[in-house]
Amino acid sequence: MRNNLASAMFAVSMWQRIGAVLAVAWLAASPAWGAAPGAPAPPFALADDAGTTVSLAALRGRVVYVDFWASWCTPCRLSFPWMGEMQRKYGAQGFTVVAVNVDKRKEDAARFLALTPGAFTIVYDPSGAVPAAYDVKGMPTSYLVDRRGTIVSVDTGFRDDAKAGLEARIRAVVEAR
Amino acid sequence: MAAALALPGVSPGASAQSIPGEGVFSVRYLDYRDWQGGGDRMRVRSPSVFVMKPFAGRWVAEGGLVYDGMSGASPRFHNTLSGASGEGVKDYRTAGDAKLTRYFDRYALGVGIAGSTERDYLSKAASLDLRWWTEDRNTTLAFSFAGTSDRINSNNQIAVNEKKNTLDFLVGITQAISADAIVQSNLTYSRGHGYYDDPYKSLDDRPDHRRILAWVTRWNQAFPAQDATLKVAFRVLRDSFGSTSVMTEAQWVQGLPHGFTVTPGLRYYTQGAADFYRAPPFPIGFVFGEPYTADTRLAAFGAFTPSLAIAKTLADGWSADLRVDFYRQKGSWRLGGDGSPDLLPFSARWIQGGVSKSF
Amino acid sequence: MTSARNAHRAPPAGGDTRPRGRQEGAGVPGAARIAALLASALALAGCAYAPPKPWEKGELAKPAMAFDGSRLEMRYQEHVYQSKEAATGGYGVGGGGCGCN
């Protein structure tokens, strides 16, 4: 038990470290204006609940919706069901939602997920290195990344009245060849 | 004689720089009682409701209603020099307000109305407020403006259709200074004109205008390791009636298992007397035709309020809380000078409880 | 009249014949000291000034950190104090929160 816990903690901190290294590397190589539309999406490799590493590089060729969220973010409660719906609708066409949790403590995220389950990929970055690399401006912030790994659009905040526009953009990117 | 709300309609509700994710419905009940010397004096029971609901993506509507039912010996007679007192009195007050806020990417604009009515006092107010925040949302600037119009018709025909008009201005800054601390500082200026007398007190004659300048600073500090929050507030206020007051307050919000919090608090307040306050029953220095009051609210004193609150949050959006305050006021507790002589120590206690549901 | 919370105190039973002239309303000499104290507290805060990143606002988003937690509670408090003290108000607008959009 104790060993499992220790190795789990090691795994997290290892991924934190990898994330941080990748982020720093990207920051050094990227222009000052950060993750804006037209720029390459900063790479990341983060662990999900099962301990499996999810990396952006491995998703190359798919359209990826990178969403930064936190347990304490109230608009995130609105975005979760919607992201699940998008995953269900467009997954078969090569669309993947990756929700990056930024909580310091994983228990807080677990409590949120118990009430608001997410039917898509969820990874954890308690170090904050990846949101820093993406220059996240608020919670939630989402980045729509095309099949070549380029950021198409950035959206900060989530409101019900913005859903239709977001979905139209996703559809356009998914259908673009 | 006080208007329904301090800065009517500008009461806060929606969070500063973001659209609330969900609505809130709250009901609350207050039971107030005060006494002086031997006997019980007034008792007030006051239920209230509040609803806040975001809609259409960028809008928030909110509104509240309060009802006060009072019983006991009327203070108005208590305080007249004639000494008539002890008459059983029942009175009521109903107050309500509504506010609509539109959120934009970097600012929010709100308009509000408020009103209150009692047998002898009618108050109407309108307000406008603008909040602007930096892109990182760590700094919020607030500008508020409110106008209030009051109409007074005392039951004893001393005040007949008297009016009072007040303008309130507020500038404020809220700054997140670290991941664990946030500070807010507000400057308010109020300028009023009209009927300030108390028609139920003999010879009461106050200036027909009043200017108030107040500076409030509040600091909230989280202690994540202790699962606690320290909340500190400080206010200095200067009034053209001649009184300066200082208020300071601290609360410790302690998190406990199972969603409970317990919050002990302590408040200290001290004020100097108004220039025209003269202690009864023989007001030395009273000159007929010059401003005069024996209203103990304008005397010099100090006051302490210890309080204790318990709250419980449930996972499905419900929360409930209970709070008790005990207030004690004494002339000798004034800071930086003597208190008004002849003030009898005055005590009050109030208990309030409420239930809220997010939706 | 306003609510009974506007409770005014009864005049004391007579007998005291000490002169009761006007009292200085303005004098709160402690105010300067308190202001100095507050200024040093703010200076201290200046040293600790490290504004949070948008993903570091978990603590600030907690209900206890809000300046205007329960509006009804605040209103009761203000109303009670307004009935027994000369000073009132000074609050008015909110702040804090999760800094979400």
Q: Which residues of B are less than 8 Å from C3 in CB distance?
A: 44, 46, 68, 70, 91, 93, 118
User: What is the Cα–Cα distance from B294 to B277, expressed in whole angstroms?
Assistant: 6
**pLDDT category of residue B294 using cuts at 50, 70 and 90:** confident
Q: What is the mean pLDDT of chain B?
A: 85
User: What is the Cα–Cα distance from C66 to B358, expressed in whole angstroms?
Assistant: 16
Measured between CB atoms, does A74 come within 8 Å of chain C?
yes
First to last CA, chain A: 50
Strand ranges (DSSP E) for chain A? 45-47, 53-55, 63-69, 95-101, 121-124, 141-145, 151-156
Tokens for C32, please give them: 């300067």
Q: Inter-chain contact B58–A159, Cβ cutoff 8 Å? A: yes
Measured between CB atoms, does B264 come within 8 Å of chain C?
no
Q: Identify the pLDDT of residue B251.
A: 97
Tokens for A143, please give them: 């980045």
Q: Inter-chain contact B315–A115, Cβ cutoff 8 Å? A: yes
Q: Identify the pLDDT of residue B205.
A: 86
Q: Inter-chain contact B348–C48, Cβ cutoff 8 Å? A: no
Calculate how close chain A gets to B21, using CA atoms only, in Å. Answer: 5
Q: Which of A70, A8, A64 is nearest to A41 (CA)?
A: A64
Contacts of B171 (CB under 8 A, 6+ apart): B141, B142, B143, B186, B187
CA dihedral C43, C45, C48, C50 (to 10 degrees): -110
Mean pLDDT of the region B162-169? 92
Q: Identify the pLDDT of residue B76.
A: 39
Q: Inter-chain contact A73–C54, Cβ cutoff 8 Å? A: no
* β pairing state of B107-118 and B121-133: antiparallel
Task: Flag whether pLDDT at B307 surpasses 50.
Answer: yes
Measured between CB atoms, does B8 come within 8 Å of chain C?
no
What are the C-alpha distances in Å from B80 to residues B203, B285, B311?
9, 18, 42
Size of interface B-C (CB pairs under 8 A): 385
The alpha carbon of residue B344 and the mean position of all alpha carbons in its chain are separated, in whole angstroms, by 23
Calculate how close chain B gets to C82, using CA atoms only, in Å. Answer: 7
Q: Yes or no: say if B331 and B341 are a contact pair by the CB < 8 Å rule.
A: yes
Q: Which residues of B are less than 8 Å from A157 in CB distance?
A: 18-19
Calculate how close chain B gets to C77, using CA atoms only, in Å. Answer: 9
Mean pLDDT of the region A66-72? 95
Which subunits count as partners of chain C given 3+ CB pairs below 8 Å?
A, B
**Which structural domains are found in chain A, ordered by start?**
2-175 (3.40.30.10)
Q: Identify the pLDDT of residue C11.
A: 37
Task: Flag whether pLDDT at C82 surpasses 70.
Answer: yes
User: What is the Cα–Cα distance from A95 to B67, expressed in whole angstroms?
Assistant: 55
Nearest residue of C to residue A71 by CA position? C58
Q: Which residues of B are less than 8 Å from A76 in CB distance?
A: 21
Q: Is the Cα dihedral A162, A165, A170, A173 positive or negative?
A: negative
User: What is the Cα–Cα distance from B41 to B36, expressed in whole angstroms?
Assistant: 7
Share of residues in chain A with pLDDT > 70 (%): 80
Q: Which of B22, B105, B253, B239 is nearest to A157 (CA)?
A: B105
Q: Identify the pLDDT of residue C75.
A: 85
User: What is the Cα–Cα distance from A68 to A109, expressed in whole angstroms?
Assistant: 12
User: Which tens digits make up the pLDDT trace of B317-329?
Assistant: 899 999 999 999 9
- The domain segmentation of chain C, as residue ranges, is 52-85
Q: Identify the pLDDT of residue A160.
A: 83
The alpha carbon of residue B279 and the mean position of all alpha carbons in its chain are separated, in whole angstroms, by 26
User: What is the Cα–Cα distance from C80 to C37, expressed in whole angstroms?
Assistant: 29
Q: Inter-chain contact C99–A139, Cβ cutoff 8 Å? A: yes
Q: What is the mean pLDDT of chain A?
A: 85
Of B78, B179, B253, the CB nearest to C56: B179
What are the C-alpha distances in Å from B283 to residues B68, B299, B332, C17?
34, 13, 20, 10
Q: Inter-chain contact C61–A73, Cβ cutoff 8 Å? A: yes
Of A115, A138, A159, the CB nearest to B57: A159
Nearest residue of B to residue C19 by CA position? B284
Size of interface A-B (CB pairs under 8 A): 29
Task: Flag whether pLDDT at C32 surpasses 70.
Answer: no
DSSP H or E segment with residue A81? helix A76-90
CA atoms within 13 A on the CB side of B92: 5
SS3 of residue A173 by DSSP: helix
Q: Inter-chain contact A76–C58, Cβ cutoff 8 Å? A: no
Of C5, C35, C58, the CB nearest to B44: C5
Q: Inter-chain contact C55–A158, Cβ cutoff 8 Å? A: no
pTM of the model: 0.81
Q: Yes or no: say if A100 and A136 are a contact pair by the CB < 8 Å rule.
A: no
What is the DSSP annotation of B308-347? EEEEEE-TTSEEEEEEEEEEEEEGGG-SSSPPPTTPPPEE
Measured between CB atoms, does A137 come within 8 Å of chain C?
yes
Question: Higher pLDDT residue, B83 or A98?
Answer: A98
Count each helix (H run) and each strand (E run) in chain C, helices first. 2, 0
* β pairing state of A63-69 and A95-101: parallel
State which fold the B24-358 domain adopts: Porin (2.40.160)
Q: Which residues of B are less than 8 Å from A102 in CB distance?
A: none
Q: Identify the pLDDT of residue B70.
A: 83
Single-letter amino acid code for the residue at A69: W
Q: Inter-chain contact B26–C25, Cβ cutoff 8 Å? A: no
Q: Identify the pLDDT of residue B230.
A: 97
Which subunits count as partners of chain A given 3+ CB pairs below 8 Å?
B, C
Q: Which of A72, B144, B64 is nearest to C64 (CA)?
A: A72
Q: Inter-chain contact B253–C64, Cβ cutoff 8 Å? A: yes
Q: Identify the pLDDT of residue B204.
A: 85
SS3 of residue A88 by DSSP: helix
Nearest residue of C to residue A76 by CA position? C100
The alpha carbon of residue A147 and the mean position of all alpha carbons in its chain are separated, in whole angstroms, by 16
Task: Flag whether pLDDT at B79 surpasses 90.
Answer: no
Q: Which residues of C are less than 8 Å from A75 in CB distance?
A: 100-101
Calculate how close chain A gets to C53, using CA atoms only, in Å. Answer: 8
Mean pLDDT of the region B13-33? 79
Q: Which of B47, B93, B10 is nearest to C76 (CA)?
A: B47
Q: Where would I find the H helices in C5-98?
A: 30-47, 71-82
Q: Which of B272, B269, B210, B223 is nearest to B243 (CA)?
A: B272
Mean pLDDT of the region C28-41? 64
